Amino acid sequence: MTTPGILIKQLFLLAFLGTILPAALPWTAVADDGRVTRLQLGLNAGLTRLVVEASGPIDAELSANSDGLGLILGLPGLRWAAPPAQTRAAGLVAALGLPVRHDERTEIAIDLIEPAVVERAFRLEPQNGPLGPSGHRLVIDLRPADPQAYAEAFAAAIALPLQTAVDIAPPPAVAADRKRTIVLDPGHGGQDPGAISASGRHEKDITLAVTLAMAHRLRATGRYHVILTRDRDRFVRLGDRVALARRHEADLFLSVHADSLRGDRATRGASVYTRADAASDLDAEALALRENRADQLADSAADTDVDDVVSILLDLASRDTARLSGRFAGLLTASMSDTIALRRNALRAANFRVLSAPDVPSALLELGYLSNPGDEALLFSEAGRNKLAAAAVAAIDRFFGADMQAER
Ligand SMILES: [Zn+2]
């Protein structure tokens, strides 16, 4: 347990900075800048996720609350400068307490509905986004646990972030002779053109062309049952795309898109997304907002409840789905990187409605940027589309290939 060491070091640092030469050292900013700027609570694929954002890297300490079932999140060296969390109860969290200042640390009580342990806790570096740079983030995912595991986990305070690797669930056992069902989802269509390139070409056309090329290649292997959410230029609601994948008990759902940034011709490259309530960065958050708008073009505004319903459905059973989605997204990113330029931090997460099936591993591929001339040329060439389709199919093969080997 490294907690006392970290704590002592931080306290020492703060004491040192506060009393001696505060302006003479380049890292005095630590003392000035230690502010919590945001606290978010939400569900992330069955886990209860707490995201702390601060002006500097966050070290935290999580300990059992001696007053009852719950935890105390201690943030050494950080001052509270955040608005109250918008969500005060979600998932395993019954309530968030008000921040309390104790000596050189801020503490927040987290009341729990049932015993829980930390599934993972990791840091996200600041990201530049359309809304400006984000702060440093600490993401804490909690999962339910039996009382004994809870007691053992918090017998002593836990230092966060955890250094342990995230465990990856093995793919579900499937009879080796069963064809895997892949649902491919060409983004947009019909009255919804999606993003539009500088020269006036439509995202909906490129997503359909690339997806058809993928379907052709997948079918040619003889190993997959391939279903498309649309195979021509027509409008399909986001909720209906999700429902189709669930109805067919798909083994994998891949939504294909291309983005465009107004006034930005430089940004280019592919990126891969999984679903998370709390976005990995502001770019991803903004992208999910753009993509989620597709349903506003529907004839009537009937299906507004998809997210709520799915949030309720996202229970523990979906944890494996989330892990499998993450695993596939990793393979897809790796496969794409052999083929085309990737965006920096190409593997991201945000709250995409189309990725909300709780029981189907799902990922969203952004092929590139129609606002970038290089990407546009690539995406609208047959050779480029074939390369992209081949890379996606290689990732799908790898995703299921490991599965088949494991069974033998
Ligand atoms: Zn799109």
The string of pLDDT tens digits covering residues 272-300 is: 999 888 888 888 888 888 888 887 766 54
Give residue 137's pLDDT band: very low, low, confident or very high (50, 70, 90). confident
The per-residue pLDDT for range 183-223, each reduced to its tens digit, is 999 999 999 999 998 789 999 999 999 999 999 999 999 89
Higher pLDDT, 178 or 27: 178
Distance 298 CA to ligand 1 centre (A): 15
The angle at the Cα of 273, spanning 284 to 236, to the nearest 5 degrees, equals 95
Q: How far is the CA of 140 from the centre of ligand 1 (A)?
A: 30
Residue 327's alpha-carbon distances to 4, 69, 96, 169, 361, in angstroms, are 35, 34, 32, 9, 9
Nearest CA to 318 out of 356, 355, 349, 359 is that of 359
Distance CA 299, CA 281 (A): 32
Q: What confidence score (pLDDT) does residue 192 get?
A: 94
Closest CA to 224 of 250, 254, 262, 256: 250
From 15-19, 113-117, 156-160, 173-177, the region with the lowest mean pLDDT = 15-19
Q: Is 57 exposed, middle or buried (0-12, 13-18, 19+ CB in 10 A)?
A: middle
Say yes or no to pLDDT of 21 above 70: no
Q: Which sign, positive or negative, has the C-alpha torsion 145, 149, 151, 153?
A: negative
Q: Kindly state the tokens that stand for 146.
A: 């039996």
State CA 307 to chain mean position distance.
16
CA of 286 to the centre of ligand 1 (A): 12
Is ipTM > 0.95 here? Answer: yes
Across residues 34-45, what is the average pLDDT?
A: 81
Q: How far is the CA of 189 from the centre of ligand 1 (A)?
A: 10
**Distance, CA 81 to ligand 1 centroid (Å)?**
36
pTM of this structure: 0.56
Q: Measure 203 CA to ligand 1 centroid, in angstroms.
A: 7
Q: Is the dihedral of CA 107, 110, 116, 120 positive or negative?
A: negative
pLDDT at 1: 41
Ligand 1 centroid – CA 39 distance (Å): 29
Give the confidence band of 376 by pLDDT, cuts at 50, 70, 90.
very high
CA 197 to chain CA centroid, Å, is 27
Is the predicted pLDDT of residue 176 greater than 60, yes or no? no
Name which residue leads in pLDDT, 151 or 162.
151
pLDDT at 326 over 50: yes
Question: How many A from CA of 284 to the centre of ligand 1?
Answer: 12
| Ligand 1 centroid – CA 366 distance (Å) | 8
Closest CA to 52 of 129, 157, 140: 140
Q: How far is the CA of 379 from the centre of ligand 1 (A)?
A: 14
